[in-house]
Structure 1
Amino acid sequence: MNNIFNLRRFSQLFIKHTQEYYKTYLLSVGVIVALLAAILGFISYVSDGNLGVKSQYAIFFFFFIGAGSIFTSMIFSELGNSRKSITMLMLPASHFEKYLVAWIYSFLIYQLVFTLSFYAVDLIVLMLQNSGTDEKMALLDLQSAGTPYGMALIAFAVLHGITFLGAVFFEKLHFIKSACLVAVFGLFIILINQPLANVILGVKLEKVVPFAHAAIKEADNYYALEPQSSIKPIMIGMTYTIVMILWIGAYFKLKEKQV
């Protein structure tokens, strides 16, 4: 077991990684904060102070998964440089410990830092916005049914799994190549989704959103088909199963790396 995971060795590796990259991470946080301030401030300005909860959630959602995917794609950037890869692979730590440090930073710590950064900026923008108007805009609530954190987390987890595997698999241009895979996979799903749903249900569907809902049109009326509440946990479980497979694949791909 000590050859796979040792708490003392792992903690030393985690501290070493933090000491080496904390300046880069702090700079990245500064860039995210600046972009969030610019976007939230601009939308608040052009909408005459009507930065509603839905707009806040849309910005949170796309920045959350977009910045997270870029950050994750660069977490194993040393592997693309022969000198840095030798140094990394020769560290007296197991592949699992190196993998775990990268996973914790790119998945857990990123979520915490991004959420805190977003709320810090959002709160300041709303305070400035609400100070000049009688109609006060509410702060985004990620526990609300209309703006759930769970939806953003599922999307981020899937993209994290793909970009995490891509960061290990590809030696160069990790993010671009991973993004191309996501685009090809998404296009494939869109192309086969409606014909497959028509065959399964035995009717011609007017509109089909992958993994979400479908609609049937009769005359001028639309009838939406929503999955039962008992089916949704199964769909979420299947999604996280795919994410786990991607994470496991990334680990075994990292194990193949040798000096």
Structure 2
Amino acid sequence: MSNIFNSTRFLGLIRRQWIGFGRIYLMSIGIIAGVIFGFYAVNFASNYDGMKNQTAYSLLNFRTPLFCILGLFFVTVVSSSYFADLGKKTRAIFELMIPASQLEKFLVSLFYTVVVSIGSYLLVFYLIDLAFVAYLKGFGSMVLNQTASTGKAGSIDLWQYFYKVQYPHSAYYFYFAPILLNAIFLLGGIVFQNYQYVKTAISVVIYCVVWICFFVYLIKMQTQDTVGVMGNNYWSDSNHIFALIGAGALFLTLVLWCVAFLRLKEKEI
């Protein structure tokens, strides 16, 4: 099979993969939707009196941690399970005999595990949030008056839709997290023969612990018995540091995708 990209084969492979992967994927997104709905329902039910009296100031504080943790978990599960059949000999034969190039197979995997999974998660979360917050706004609005550090007075709506919530500028540099985790768990799903998710997760945890310990030890050795002086330079701005981390994560994602593609190609030789 030629490795030259062919759009007709690519679209055909997308349709073919949906037949086998679509049912599992729809079940997964259904479970995720149920979990999100459950969190909203429980929080709204337990704060119903505060909603009526407009005193439930922290009612929607659960949304951000729920959105981040559940979203990253969903992306990693989908990414790790996409190539899980390659670890089973009987199913691997059918996967390897699909009339498509390695490049097309890998691009389809990115389409389902990145574009479809992240896009559908955002759609489901925003729609559920839209429904509950619209119901919440039927009780009125929760506006908090505050004064900025510059002395300028302002107000913030505590009961606003999730897609309108404003976060610190540095938070936007961490948009790479689901993409990077996709690359890691997609590679783990190809490399490991069984228990792909568990083995990949354990490998990531061990790597992070070793790297953090080494980094802390290195910083300690470099700064021991020294006096830190913070000047007005490029690295004194936290946004520059976050931007560098984001760029490094993007580069690492591309490297991991390339390694995953090469490992997938090896399995078809």
TM-score, normalised to structure 1's length?
A: 0.82
Equivalent residue in structure 1 for 2:95, among 85, 88, 96: 88
For residues 179-258 of structure 1, what are the structure 2 equivalents within 5 Å?
179-201=201-223, 227-258=237-268
Q: Distance in 2 between matches of 1:126 and 1:77?
A: 38
* Residues 230 and 186 (structure 1), Cα distance of their counterparts in 2 relative to 1, 3 Å cut: closer
Q: CA deviation at 1:258?
A: 3.3
Bigger shift: residues 178-187 or 20-29: 20-29
Q: Distance in 1 between matches of 2:173 and 2:32?
A: 21
Q: Distance in 2 between matches of 1:71 and 1:29?
A: 10
Deviations 1:76-112 (A, max 9, x none): 0111221111001011111111111111110111111
The answer to whether the aligner puts 1:103 opposite 2:110 as a matched pair is yes
Aligned partners of 1:143 and 1:149 also within 8 Å: no
* Residues 166 and 188 (structure 1), Cα distance of their counterparts in 2 relative to 1, 3 Å cut: same
Equivalent residue in structure 2 for 1:114, among 109, 121, 130: 121
* Residues 228 and 254 (structure 1), Cα distance of their counterparts in 2 relative to 1, 3 Å cut: same
Paired positions, count? 241
Q: Distance in 2 between matches of 1:151 and 1:125?
A: 29
Q: Distance in 2 between matches of 1:15 and 1:142?
A: 35
Equivalent residue in structure 1 for 2:70, among 51, 63, 66: 63
Q: Distance in 2 between matches of 1:121 and 1:148?
A: 27
Identity of counterpart residues, as a percentage?
22
Q: CA deviation at 1:166?
A: 0.1
Aligned partners of 1:75 and 1:102 also within 8 Å: yes
Q: Distance in 1 between matches of 2:221 and 2:237?
A: 17
Q: Distance in 1 between matches of 2:134 and 2:250?
A: 37
Bigger shift: residues 75-84 or 145-154: 145-154
Which consecutive unaligned segments of at least 5 residues does structure 1 have?
Answer: 206-215, 217-224
Q: Distance in 1 between matches of 2:160 and 2:267?
A: 50
Q: Distance in 1 between matches of 2:10 and 2:26?
A: 22
Measured on the aligned residues, the alpha-carbon RMSD in Å equals: 2.7
Bigger shift: residues 154-163 or 240-249: 154-163
Q: Distance in 1 between matches of 2:245 and 2:206?
A: 22
The structure carrying a bigger helix percent of its residues is 2
* Residues 43 and 165 (structure 1), Cα distance of their counterparts in 2 relative to 1, 3 Å cut: same
Q: CA deviation at 1:198?
A: 3.0
Aligned partners of 1:141 and 1:147 also within 8 Å: no
Alignment-derived partner of residue 25 in structure 1: 25
Q: Secondary structure of 1:251's partner? A: helix
Equivalent residue in structure 2 for 1:154, among 160, 163, 176: 176
* Residues 168 and 201 (structure 1), Cα distance of their counterparts in 2 relative to 1, 3 Å cut: same
Q: CA deviation at 1:227?
A: 4.2
* Residues 43 and 194 (structure 1), Cα distance of their counterparts in 2 relative to 1, 3 Å cut: farther
Bigger shift: residues 123-132 or 184-193: 123-132
The answer to whether the aligner puts 1:123 opposite 2:130 as a matched pair is yes
Aligned partners of 2:170 and 2:242 also within 8 Å: no
Give 2:26's aligned amino acid: L
Bigger shift: residues 143-152 or 56-65: 143-152
Q: Distance in 1 between matches of 2:257 and 2:121?
A: 21
TM-score, normalised to structure 2's length?
A: 0.79
* Residues 197 and 33 (structure 1), Cα distance of their counterparts in 2 relative to 1, 3 Å cut: same
Give 1:174's aligned amino acid: Q
